[in-house]
Amino acid sequence: MDTTPYLPGKFVWFEHVSNDLAKARAFYEPLFGWHTEAMPMEGRSYQMLMNGNGGIGGLREADAGVPNHWISYLSVEDVDARFKAATAAGAKALQPPTDFPPVGRGAGLTDPTGAAFCLWRSNGGDMPDHKETPAGNFVWNELWTPDDQKALSFYETCFGYTHDAMEMGPDGTYYILKSVDGTARAGLAKMPAGTPPMWLPYVRVADCDATLAKAQGLGAQKVLIPPHDIPDVGRIAALIDPLGAPIAMITPAPM
């Protein structure tokens, strides 16, 4: 009997894809207290991002002409089946289902509203949920989309999510995507025209304001969202890193 732990619907890995991995390390390692370790994979060395003793993501060279960005990996039961369902529902293929020995099988897609993400099935199972996510770990993922209803239908149809809705006043409705077991896994929000569609990862930090100030000192290009409080959620901010990739941070509200 297979007792390997899997959490379908959870975003389990995050990669910084850029044309300057050294510059990415120089920004993120002091900002969040990360370090990198080399991991052999398919005859090459993969730079794994570590928070303490735990692997949380990686650094990968961008293909020529691809803008620097973060890409999120969604745990699924069957990469091939979910890839087929997603492309049938209007997603565009970025990478067909592919084995990545010895770690797992993955595929790349752009959803019907234009946001890129990956599917993943690890050979070693998924990292279990933390009762309280440690500072420096990814804690949330958020879809910025020009068409919230199309996106909601796509992710629910293809990946079995349900949702809760939060009314945000002039900012409209914020949707919380929940996996089959009812766990909140991601947010989904309609953004103003001209905002690029994307999955935006959030890192938990001890002090949102201080971390943003540190990021600016390390060369962040722009503040996307100034620090502000969301009742019962926490204090958030978002920025564009020195390579042009958006990322967000949150100091959760006390439980």
User: What kind and span of H or E run contains 32?
Assistant: helix 21-32
> Is 3 contained in some domain?
no
Can you give the CATH number for the domain in which 26 is found?
3.10.180.10
- Which amino acid makes up residue 140? W
- Which amino acid makes up residue 54? G
CA–CA dist 237, 190 (Å, integer):
18
The domain of 53 spans: 11-122
CA–CA dist 46, 208 (Å, integer):
30
118 near 71, Cβ under 8 Å?
yes
CA–CA dist 69, 62 (Å, integer):
9
State residue 169's pLDDT score: 85
Closest CA to 62 of 199, 188, 205, 243: 243
Count the domains in the chain.
2
The distance of Cα 60 from the centroid of its chain, to the nearest Å, equals: 15
Closest CA to 248 of 134, 143, 150: 143
Cβ burial, residue 161 (10 Å; 0-12/13-18/19+): buried
> Is 79 contained in some domain?
yes
Which tokens in the block code for residue 44?
Answer: 């090459």
Sign of the dihedral through C-alpha 49, 54, 56, 60: positive
Closest CA to 117 of 146, 150, 91: 91
pTM of the shown model = 0.96
Q: Let me know whether 50 and 148 are in one domain.
A: no
Q: Let me know whether 93 and 199 are in one domain.
A: no
Per-residue pLDDT of the chain (255 residues; tens, 9 = 90+): 455 699 999 999 999 999 999 999 999 999 999 999 998 877 788 999 999 999 999 999 998 889 999 999 999 999 999 999 999 999 999 999 999 988 999 999 999 999 999 999 999 999 999 999 999 999 999 999 999 999 999 999 999 999 999 998 888 899 999 999 999 999 999 999 889 999 999 999 999 999 999 999 999 999 999 999 999 999 999 999 999 999 999 999 987
- 61 beta partners: 18
State residue 3's pLDDT score: 59
* DSSP classification of residue 146: S
Q: Let me know whether 118 and 177 are in one domain.
A: no
Q: Let me know whether 148 and 174 are in one domain.
A: yes
Q: Let me know whether 150 and 235 are in one domain.
A: yes
Map residue 98 onto helix, strand or coil.
strand
> Is 175 contained in some domain?
yes
pLDDT in tens, 23-56: 999 999 999 999 999 988 777 889 999 999 999 9
Map residue 195 onto helix, strand or coil.
coil
> Is 5 contained in some domain?
no
State residue 1's pLDDT score: 43
Which tokens in the block code for residue 168?
Answer: 């945000």
> Is 6 contained in some domain?
no
Closest CA to 99 of 76, 116, 122: 122
**Which of residues 89, 122, 155 is at a domain's end?**
122
> Is 73 contained in some domain?
yes
75 near 7, Cβ under 8 Å?
yes
